[in-house]
Amino acid sequence: MYRRELSFEKDTSNQQVDRTLEREIKLARSIQMKLLNGNEPTIKNGTVSGISIPARLIGGDYYDFYVLPNGKLRIIIGDVMGKGIPAAMLMILTRGAFRSAAESTKGPADTLTAMNNAMYEDLRVLGSFVTVLCADWDPESQELSYASAGHSLPLVIQSNQQLRDIPIAKGVMLGGLPDVVYNQNTVKLEEEDLLFFYTDGITEAQNENGDMYRLERLEQTLMENLDLDIKELEDTVTHSLESFTKGLPQKDDITMVIMKVNREKTEIASYNAPKL
């Protein structure tokens, strides 16, 4: 009898621990969603939107907007190594480093240099790294300055539905090397150009045969739907991924930031979508 009672008490204790852990994970997700859905800044001459779909309840992808005193918009998108709670914790670290650097640095390259200096020791202790793309959009000159820490460059689709090549900007991932000095490049955008930032959860999504979605399919999807507004375009890319994977469990976080140049509109919106 005593053994049965002891076993029952142990089972009850395990259930309580499971419920507590579930509540804490849900709380962590709520905090993460609030941080990704921060205050919506306002810029001129364009529309911008961001969306992040975690592979698990919480994820390690990150995007953010920061309006600078000179009227430029600083955009960042990043991918933390790993998934779930550990990656989400590093995402919060990345956000803090970005927000601190954005207030005191002149451009994207300086921002990444400051972020790596702030995060390097912690990332080395944890054996992790973060890929990041940082860009400043100037709505008056319509110039985009950008720097990369091991992250894919954004895609630029012109109004004639042609993919535009932009100057290369290479850099070591955050946590890769100490005392890295990043470089940046600049491209001038034209009216109705589409700018697409993304993480590799999109291009590396796999179907039942193990085939990847790939960059070429993403480019084609964007070019074929260029006339849609940015929120409709987000839905179109998401549905294209769903159609390609045919309901298979999502293996990696999916994040995108879309900007369209348009001198007649002024809007920035960011939100999170439910898991695929």
- Please write the tens of the pLDDT for every residue from 39-50: 556 667 788 989
Judged against a pLDDT cut of 70, whether residue 263 lies above it is answered with: no
Taking each continuous run of H as one helix and of E as one strand, the counts in the chain are 6, 11
Rounded Cα distance between 264 and 268, Å, is 13
- The gap from C-alpha 219 to its chain's centroid, in whole angstroms, comes to 18
Q: How far apart are CA 263 and CA 62, in angstroms?
A: 28
- In CATH, what is the architecture of 40-270? 4-Layer Sandwich (3.60)
The residue among 203 and 39 whose pLDDT is bigger is 203
Residue 23 CA to its chain's centroid (Å): 25
| Mean pLDDT, range 32-43, rounded to an integer | 61
State the amino acid at position 235 in one-letter form: D
Confidence band of 267 (pLDDT split at 50, 70, 90): very low
**How far apart are the C-alpha atoms of 261 and 239, rounded to whole Å?**
24
CA 136, 156, 51, 180 torsion-angle sign: negative
Backbone phi and psi for residue 165, each to the nearest 5 degrees, phi listed first: -75, 135
Confidence of residue 7 (pLDDT cuts 50, 70, 90): low
Q: How confident is the model at residue 268 (pLDDT cuts 50, 70, 90)?
A: very low
Q: Give me the amino acid identity at 243.
A: S
CA-closest candidate to residue 195, choices 253, 269, 143:
143
Q: How far apart are CA 157 and CA 207, in angstroms?
A: 26
Q: Is the pLDDT of residue 269 over 50?
A: no
Q: Which of 103, 98, 108, 28 is nearest to 63 (CA)?
A: 98
266 pLDDT higher than 80? no
Tokens standing for residue 128: 């992790």
Q: Show me where the domains of the chain are located.
A: 1-36, 40-270
**In the chain, what's the furthest Cα-to-Cα distance?**
80
In angstroms, rounded to a whole number, what is the distance separating the alpha carbons of residues 121 and 119? 6
Q: What percent of the chain has pLDDT over 70?
A: 81
The answer to whether the beta carbons of residues 128 and 121 sit under 8 Å apart is no
- Write the pLDDT tens digit of every residue in 78-131: 999 877 778 888 888 899 999 999 988 889 999 999 999 999 999 999 889 999
Task: Output the six-digit token pair for 228.
Answer: 């849609």
